[in-house]
Chain A
Amino acid sequence: MNSIPDEPFRTDLTTWEIGPYHGSLPAPMRLRLSLDGEIIARCQVETGFLHRGLEKACELHSWKAAVSYADHLDPESAVFGELVLCLAVEEIGEISVPARAQFIRIILSELTRISAHLAFIVRMAKAVGSETVVHYVLRDRERILDLFELLTGARFSINFLRFGGVRADVTDGFIERVLEVCEMIRIRMKEYNDIFTFNHGFLKRSAFVGILPLNLVRTCGITGPNARASGVSLDLRKDSPYLGYEGLEFQVPLGLGEEGAVGDSHDRFLLRLREVSQSMEILKQITERVPSGDFINQKIDKEYVVPPGEAYSRIESSRGLLGCHVVSDGKLRPSRVQFRTPTTSHLMAVPPLLTGVRIEDLPVVLASLDLGIAEADR
């Protein structure tokens, strides 16, 4: 528990610089901390070490290649970047998507969400030094990566979605294996709960630590699991459904603060575990009703041109609201592809959130925010 002294912090005592590459940081970023004893009094965050010029690279390539760049936006959950770009382009060109392709897209999104949340558990376990859980979760995550490999041929940057469908049809036995993996993860979740989630050591490290207040969620525009853990019910799958989410039954879990306060690090962890089980619910429903038919409507090649126009699409990625503004002027190359990434807002909340936190809790708070620096830096 944080014990914040009554007198104001003294900022002139010690200055620490951490990063950009350090074991306690989830991704390349640089922190400048002013410490008052053990407590962080002031914090500055510097990012940009992963700036690749992704939006410029999209403008210099053909429309087809823009998908593979969108895939590099967030390597951990590649399909969301592709999906948001495809949705925007399909709105500009009024391209219809076959029902079978929509179902494959939902299956891929939910599998990616589970995989990204499992990676989050890995980082969280690393932050508290629980090596066993790191290896257990990585073992189970490999099963999902195997599913990606079976469907798309790649483990990470899958480059699978196309404007108006997907690149390939599902192979035989894929649906059965998805259900198999869901069942396996459902059993494993109990195991994680036993050894990690409600372990008193982990509770002491994470409960009441880094409480994200509601006004900070509002002022910074935080979305996704971090906002839901603080009690803001915002999920685009429910609020403005895209693909076929309106026909599916699932719940949006909210932070309850069972073990600590609402919106603390442990609440954010628990919420992601609940989201994994909701994603498995969706997968169970969707695998029962995959329709037959085509998986793509049109042939996409290097000379593919999107008609002039613009669109803004947004989806719920594993980290929050991911938006994409696409402008086409009817030429071979996109005129502008702009991404609205959730981590940009999350990074804005890091300095006020870290103020008053003990230095030993810093890795836990940073890991619990699930920062995707790659997508913030673009």
Chain B
Amino acid sequence: MTREAAIDKALDYYDDEDKGYYKDLADRVAVPTESQNPDRLSESYRYLHDFMTPAFDAMGYNCTVYDNPFDGFGPVLLATRIEDDDLPTLLGYGHGDVIRGQDGRWENDRDPWVLDFDGDRVYGRGTADNKGQHTVHMAAVRSVIETRGALGFNHKFIIEMGEENGSKGFKELVAAEKEDFAADVYFASDGPRVDMARPNLTLGCRGTRNFDLVLNLRSGGHHSGNWGGLLANPGVILNHAIATIVDARGKILVDGLRPPPISNSVRNALKDVVREGGDGAPDIDHDWGEPGLTPPEKVYAWNSFEVLAFTTGNPENPVNAVPPSARANCQLRYVVGTDGDRAPEIIAEHLKANGFDMISVEEPPAGNAGRFAAARTDPEHPWAGWMRAAAERTYGDRVAVLPNSGGSICNDVFQDVLGIPFVWMPLSYTGCNQHAPNEHILKPLTREGMRMVSGAYWDMGDADLGYRL
């Protein structure tokens, strides 16, 4: 009964491609849990009832499925295993929903809902984000229970089904059921590690605020010959407006959308961070973004403004008409210190001040209503230090600590509602195409993740090593 035995048991499961990890992952990827697609809501329930609940039940967890407080949005599963009221309670998390499958746009005609192996890569929608990652955690926990006979700590695990659609209702649900979700510390996996070559812990995330900029000048199109020069073109005006928000090299021009200066502690932590996306990752555009910052500073310590989509006219079948309207789906990603949730009001004021008051700022489409607060656990917090030590015991070398991730997740629920320190151990890599066609994971990183997550759970239940309040 040793740490090594628990890790080996988890690896046996990982390596058994017929009955082990990839069999379970294939079954889970096959459930098309697209949370941005309202027609798929029943698939979210099926994922929890047919796949998650039986797996947690078998490990001695009590499972409760909560409906989302907002109609039409995904449910939340809480699996709870209380071993001893005197032991600390660890909260874990995964999300079972995925972004749209984008069927037909994958290379080699891959079906997003069928796991497909190609060398070290394993393709499928949700492999990286997040089915492959919570499947690792569930296996690691089981290995510890089977090896030790118990976890040695209390454990709660959340499976959310609406993360890719902005986690709508999740915060309200946890707030309403605070007792059920209460815990002392938080450990989970999502997203990519920053450097292919080295694991890292992540202590927070950028926030996200999506919104649309809309210019609706008239009800229909008008012949561009008869009217060209007489009717204002909404696509031209909206592009000019966006050009006053972000410059041609990606620098944000509106004060309220820019973060305060980067603190020394964050700047120092990021000195140790290398951005290495691995094969297939896009090339970083070094002349893009805030001038004078390093790539890690740009994405982990600074805000970014994106035009996610823009349409005017009829791009599929253009006609020779002055288009009547234009719409840009925009997004601000922001770090702690920016009041990013106010981005729509700030932009509206900016547009007005710059003569673009004909443009309205609207809430984003329900299918892509990303809205997350920025959050960060203090790098000096003891839980961050303990997790780092546990990770390094398995890895055998220094791991990097990221003050926050570039992406956004519901950390504010843990930070603001539950008030607990949170640490993430991402198991994917930045080239994983997680929000695009060709999403995949890498076998060596996933196997290493299985070792490190198992080691951390083992240590948490160890009478001497375990984190105690």
Whether both chains belong to one complex is answered with no
Q: Which residues of B contact A (CB under 8 A)?
A: none
